[in-house]
Amino acid sequence: MNTEAVKAIYFNEMRRTRKTLMQSIASPVISTVLYFVVFGSAIGSRIQSVEGVDYGSFIVPGLIMLSLLTQSISNASFGIFFPKFTGTIYEIMSAPISFFEILIGFVGAAATKSLIIGVIILLTASFFVELRIAHPFWMMTFLILTCISFSLFGFIIGLWADNFEKLQLIPLLVITPLVFLGGSFYSVSMLPEFWQKVTLLNPVLYLISGFRWSFFEVSDVSVMASFITIMGFLALCLVIVGVMFKTGYKLKQ
Amino acid sequence: MAEQANPIISIRGLTKTYKGGHQALKGIDLDIQQGEILALLGPNGAGKTTLISTICGLVKPSTGSVTVGGYDIVTDYRKTRHLIGLVPQELTLGAFDLVADTVRFSRGLFGLPPNEEKIDEILTDLSLMDKKDAMVNRLSGGMKRRVLIAKALAHEPRVLFLDEPTAGVDVELRKDMWKLVEKLRQSGVTIILTTHYIEEAEEIADRVGVISDGKLLVIDEKSNLMDTLGKKQLMVDLRTPITQLPSQLSEFDLVLSMDGHRLTYTFDTQGEQTGITALLQAVSEAGLGLKDLNTSQSSLEDIFVNLVHKEQ
């Protein structure tokens, strides 16, 4: 194992974050604050509570998930796409490093960034609403698993994309709708019965539900279902990456 | 340099066909000796970059094998790549990186622990010390080229590939670069450079290989190449111009200049008889007065153009 190389990629990516601190860390925080102002205060003041939880608090897990998913994907996809775009990937491809090590470096860095963002949003939220975390262990488990699996997913997108449009395609057309329709801002029980059933097909619902449960012990689906979903997604991403690795997908001619 | 027992790079029957069907390499056999400077000449699209990229691991070979330091580039890629440094043709650098950061990154990527002294030494060799904390995208093209070389040297490779190193490079950097190449060679580093500037090969290479259309047309020591494939010309300047060749000279392969002052005789240096004595005798028999005699030898460029033309 070329640990020096993994470290080099990891810290190189983290250095990139530090240099684009405003964009990487501040922007998700600002957007979260905006959500709180709009949904928490303006609209939330007219909603008493959801499932016994104050609405302002209720949306916190969903907001964190919203940022986590989009940030993990964009960080990891951009991290591997950019060297491909500029051509600097030649160096990584000619280095004594395996695909798996490249993966750990890039995905590890992207997941770390997302985790930091998640924690910052959590802290930011605690200034606005009273937060109670019933199951800290499960909260961290969901947080970390989500960061890793969606960073992995972002890495796959970054490898697959050969232009900027493709890079944005899945996050915009698939992930954002799934997150908004996955109960970030509401409980599924608030929907008409037909749409409740449709929503149950949305995997993101399971992530948000499980994560919310770790805070307030209220959930739309069982915690086990949430856990299986995130583990299943992680496994799926690993399989895809494994296939890409075998074929040298789009990296080697 | 005769064939040695253990070449640092050994290429056997290497072919590469790209997905689109383009066959970039059509069976290359080549041994590269430890410590030599080898120049690969060839027109654009000849397969030079594909050959280099294959050895470095950027391109998968279709058939054939390559070993570096005795290790196979596919099965033992960690060992072979560790031995190799690559300076690519394009100026590909992360735009917002600092010079020192990007060189440190390269060292780590190739598996070596950080070593600031070594980094400083490399930057000094490339006259980059004062640019150490500069952002890469603020540098001129020549400076970027130096940074790429520094990156390639960051892990102290035994083999250095320079792909078109002097494309768009000013005279000063060229000189610096050849100085560095010489210094590296003295420390035992093997250097392989591709170029389509023949002067470059003529200037620094020990051996020259000519690649065209995916095939290695010829490879030999530079001096041998010029001896065997080179032609010499004898220029005979006449005291008084003539309008046509006298009959005594008709059996020689002569060209008369437009103004009638000069006869040019082309001969093969490898031939049994150059025919010079006979020619000069014939000239004097024809009653022509001599003003001056000159000989010139064809350059590597002429040889190269000849070879590639013959091939096409």
Pairing of strands B262-268, B231-238: antiparallel
CB distance B95 to B37 below 8 Å: no
| Option in A5, A11, A92 nearest B111 (CB) | A5
Which pLDDT score is estimated for B86?
93
- Nearest CA among B43, B49, B51, B48 for reference residue B14: B51
All CATH 3.30.70 domain ranges in chain B, comma separated:
231-311
DSSP state for residue B26 in the 8-state scheme: E
Give the count of Cβ contacts less than 8 A between chain A and B: 78
Does residue B95 belong to the interface with chain A, where contact is any CB pair within 8 Å?
yes
* A94 to B84: CB separation less than 8 angstroms, yes or no: yes
pLDDT at B1: 43
Structure tokens at B147: 């940074």
Q: Is A192 helix (H, G, I), strand (E, B) or coil?
A: coil
Provide the residue ranges of all domains of chain A, joining segments of one domain with +.
3-247
Distance (Å, whole) CA B192 – CA B206? 10
Q: Do A91 and B109 touch (CB under 8 A)?
A: yes
HEC profile for A205-252?
A: HHHHHHHHHHHHCCCCCCHHHHHHHHHHHHHHHHHHHHHHHHHCCCCC
Nearest to B101 among A15, A82, A96 (CB): A15
Question: Under an 8 A CB cutoff, do B19 and A253 touch?
Answer: yes
**Which value, to the nearest 10 degrees, does the dihedral of the CA atoms of residues B63, B64, B70, B73 take?**
-20
Which pLDDT tens digit goes with each residue over A152-175?
999 999 988 888 888 888 888 888
One-letter amino acid at B152 equals A
How many CB atoms lie under 10 A from the CB of residue B296? 11
Per residue in A174-208, pLDDT tens? 888 888 888 888 888 888 888 888 888 888 888 89
Q: What is the pLDDT of residue B218?
A: 82
Nearest 5°: the CA angle A165, A235, A180 is: 50
CB B62 within 8 A of CB B42: no
Enter the tokens of residue B90.
């394009």
Taken in order B247, B249, B254, B260, the sign of the CA dihedral is: negative
Instruction: Map residue B196 onto helix, strand or coil.
Output: coil
A interface with B, Cβ–Cβ below 8 Å: 2, 4-5, 7-9, 11-12, 15-16, 19, 82-83, 86-88, 90-97, 248, 252-253
- Around Cβ B78, how many Cβ atoms within 10 Å? 17
Question: Looking at chain A, which residue has its C-alpha nearest residue B17?
Answer: A253
Amino acid at the residue B44 = N
Lowest mean pLDDT among A81-90, A166-175, A226-235, B295-304: B295-304
Which amino acid appears at position B109 of this protein? Answer: L
Q: Would you call A95 and B93 a contact, using CB atoms and an 8 Å cutoff?
A: no
Three-point CA angle B35, B41, B46, nearest 5°: 125
Angle between the N-to-C axes of helices A223-247 and A99-128, in degrees from 0 to 180, rounded to the nearest 10: 150
Averaged pLDDT in 10-residue chunks for chain B of 312 residues: 70 91 90 91 86 91 92 92 91 83 93 92 89 88 88 93 81 81 90 80 84 86 72 82 82 83 79 77 84 76 71 62
pLDDT of residue B285: 84
H or E element at residue B39: strand B37-41
Whether the CB-CB separation of A21 and A30 falls below 8 Å is answered with: no
Instruction: Choose among A253, A73, A236: nearest CA to A170.
Output: A73
Residue B20 DSSP code: T
B109 contacts in A (CB within 8 Å)? Answer: 4-5, 8-9, 91-92, 95, 97
Neighbours of A10 (CB within 10 A): 19
Residue contact A94–B108, C-beta within 8 A? no
Q: Quick one: DSSP state of residue B44?
A: T
What pLDDT score was predicted for residue B156? 92
Q: Which of A2, A19, A97 sits opposite B96 (nearest CB)?
A: A19
Residue A253 pLDDT level (bands cut at 50, 70, 90): low
CB contact (8 A) between residue B108 and residue A88: no
Rounded percentage of chain A residues whose pLDDT exceeds 70? 98
Residues in B touching A87 (Cβ below 8 Å): 88, 90, 92
Cβ-defined contact of A8 to B93 (cutoff 8 Å): no
Query: Two tokens at A122?
Result: 């959590």
Predicted TM-score (pTM) of this structure: 0.82
B11 shares contact with chain A (CB less than 8 Å): no
| Burial call A127-138: b when 16+ CB within 10 Å, e when fewer | ebbebeeeeeeb
Show the CA angle centred on residue A223, arms to residues A222 and A229, nearest 5°.
Answer: 95
Single-letter amino acid, residue B33: Q
Residues B106, A93: C-beta atoms closer than 8 Å: no
What is the per-residue pLDDT for B173?
79
Stated as kind and residue range, the H or E segment containing B228 is helix B222-229
What stretch(es) of chain B map to CATH 3.40.50.300? 9-227
Enumerate the H helices of chain A as residue ranges. Answer: 3-19, 21, 27-35, 55-86, 89-93, 99-128, 136-160, 164-170, 176-180, 193-199, 203-216, 223-247
Class of domain B9-227: alpha beta
Least confident of A93-97, A222-226, B169-173, B176-180: B169-173
Return the closest-CA partner of residue A138 out of A209, A203, A197, A198. A209
Class of domain B231-311: alpha beta
Residue of chain A minimizing CA distance to B88:
A90
**Residue A249 pLDDT grade (very low, low, confident, very high; cuts 50, 70, 90):** low
pLDDT at residue B5 in the model:
62
- Residue B35 contacts A where some CB pair is shorter than 8 Å: no
Cβ neighbours for B170, distance < 8 A, ≥ 6 positions apart: B142
Residues of A in contact with B148 (CB under 8 A): none
Q: Which residues of B touch A90 (CB under 8 A)?
A: 58, 86, 88, 92
